[in-house]
């Protein structure tokens, strides 16, 4: 039987397919309990801290609500309000927080930071997004796919369109390899996942009966895909000055109605959010105006259309993060 008690949750490469499936089953179970208002305060009286060096809506709120549902007390440290990285090292911060809290969530920059926190904290550490990986997002995404297509996703194809080497693209490649889902990264060569990670995932995929494909061709990427997935073209921590270059590189991979029509007939559209699909946001200036584009990585038609599952994914962040905390702290 799977037992994740005391484990960190830093990246899915550290978990077996069986462990990932266990977390997904637990998530579905906790979601069902929440739906009928069945209390599940299994971690009553424990204390957790959420350490954010980047902004967040879904991840922060998921950890807070899930923590409260489990009966825990939650402390939030916003970007800039702790001593970490300024007056205090990561190692010292980890040892201090580990003396006070039962679990630590970290969102920020290098994967090596969350690894160092885990090495020094002495309590479970959960990765709420780094530059390289976004593992809690993956559980929510696969739960959403299970709800759509059933629990057996083997033989399905997921295609990530656009900035495929970002944290979400990297993590999707890993989770697909682990669960025997065919993964296709569709974008310009410059934005592909790192070759070493691709090789590592190809070996894992081979064990689980699936494939990893990289292509610059949108028709090939969309063909037969059960899921078309995309993410923002410039991620947190990258300079806004990259927008011009990224728009030029990634515009051909914008998810349009035409792209969805080329995918499998039952294909769904997924996005981790936040999304630049409509003129609703600024980065200090109006990028839509500046670059003469009305829509970015996905068109409003697809985002708001009948195949879009983006808000199911967002809700599932909470149920899956709850499962991760329960499994590692119980």
For residue 57, say whether it is annotated as part of any ligand binding site: yes
The residue to which tokens 């656009």 are assigned? 162
Examine the residue annotation and report whether 272 is marked as an active-site residue of this protein. Answer: yes
Which residue from 28, 125, 272, 314 is in contact with ligand NVA, where contact means CB under 6 A?
272
- The answer to whether residue 236 forms part of the interface with ligand NVA (CB under 6 A) is yes
280 is catalytic: no
- Given CA atoms 254, 213, 146, 61 in this order, what sign does their dihedral have? negative
**Does 318 interact with ligand NVA (rule: CB under 6 A)?**
no
Residue 50 per-residue DSSP state: E
Does the annotation flag 272 for ligand binding? yes
The catalytic residue among 231, 246, 254, 277 is: 231
Q: Considering the complex, what minimum distance in angstroms separates the CB of residue 60 from ligand CP? A: 6
CA distance 224 to 282: 35
Contacting residues toward ligand CP, per CB under 6 A: 56-59, 129, 137, 272-274
309 is catalytic: no
| Closest approach of ligand CP to the CB of residue 112, in Å | 20
- Between CA 211 and CA 200 the distance in angstroms is 12
Closest CA to 254 of 270, 227, 231, 234: 231
273 assigned binding-site residue: yes
Nearer to ligand NVA among residue 166 and residue 254 (C-beta): 166
Based on the residue annotation, tell me whether 200 is a catalytic residue of this protein. no
* 303 touches 276 (CB < 8 A): no
Q: How many residues does the chain have?
A: 330
- Catalytic member of 102, 272, 309, 319: 272
Nearer to ligand CP, 299 or 320 (CB): 320
Q: Given the rule CB under 6 A, which of 6-14, 76-84, 160-168, 275-283 is the region that contacts ligand NVA?
A: 160-168
Where helices occur in the chain by DSSP H, the ranges are 17-35, 58-69, 90-100, 111-121, 135-149, 167-179, 195-207, 218-222, 243-250, 257-262, 287-291, 300-303, 310-329
* Per CB under 6 A, 168 contacts ligand NVA: yes
Active site residues: 107, 134, 137, 231, 272, 317
- Name the binding residues: 56-59, 83, 107, 134-137, 167, 231, 235-236, 272-273, 317
């Amino acid at each position: 039987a799977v037992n994740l008690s005391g484990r960190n949750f830093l990246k899915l490469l550290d978990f077996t397919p069986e462990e990932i499936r266990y977390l997904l089953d637990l998530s579905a179970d906790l979601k069902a309990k929440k739906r009928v208002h069945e209390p599940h305060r299994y971690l009553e009286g424990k204390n957790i801290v959420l350490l954010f060096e980047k902004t967040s809506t879904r991840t922060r709120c998921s950890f807070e609500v899930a923590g409260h549902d489990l009966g825990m007390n939650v402390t939030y440290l916003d970007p800039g309000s702790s001593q970490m990285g300024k007056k205090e090292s990561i190692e010292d911060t980890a040892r201090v927080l580990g003396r006070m809290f039962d679990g630590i969530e970290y969102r920020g920059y290098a994967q090596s930071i969350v690894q160092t926190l885990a090495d020094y904290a002495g309590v479970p550490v959960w990765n709420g997004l780094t530059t390289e990986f976004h593992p809690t997002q993956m559980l929510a995404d696969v739960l959403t796919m299970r709800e759509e297509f059933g629990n057996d996703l083997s033989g399905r194809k997921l295609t990530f369109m656009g900035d495929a080497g970002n944290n979400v693209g990297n993590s999707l490649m890993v989770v697909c390899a682990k669960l025997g889902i065919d993964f296709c990264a569709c974008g310009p060569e410059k934005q592909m996942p790192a070759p070493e990670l691709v090789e590592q995932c190809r070996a894992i995929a081979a064990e689980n009966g699936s494939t990893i494909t990289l292509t610059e061709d949108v028709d090939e990427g969309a063909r037969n895909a059960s899921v078309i997935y995309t993410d923002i073209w410039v991620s947190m921590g990258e300079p806004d000055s990259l927008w011009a270059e990224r728009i030029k590189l990634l515009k051909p991979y914008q998810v349009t109605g035409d792209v969805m029509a080329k995918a499998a007939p039952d294909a769904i559209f997924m996005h981790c959010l936040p999304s630049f699909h409509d003129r609703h946001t600024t980065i200090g200036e109006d990028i839509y105006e500046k670059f003469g584009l009305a829509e970015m990585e996905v068109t409003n038609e697809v985002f708001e259309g009948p195949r879009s599952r983006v808000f199911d994914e967002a809700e599932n962040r909470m149920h899956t993060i709850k499962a991760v905390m329960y499994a590692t702290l119980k």
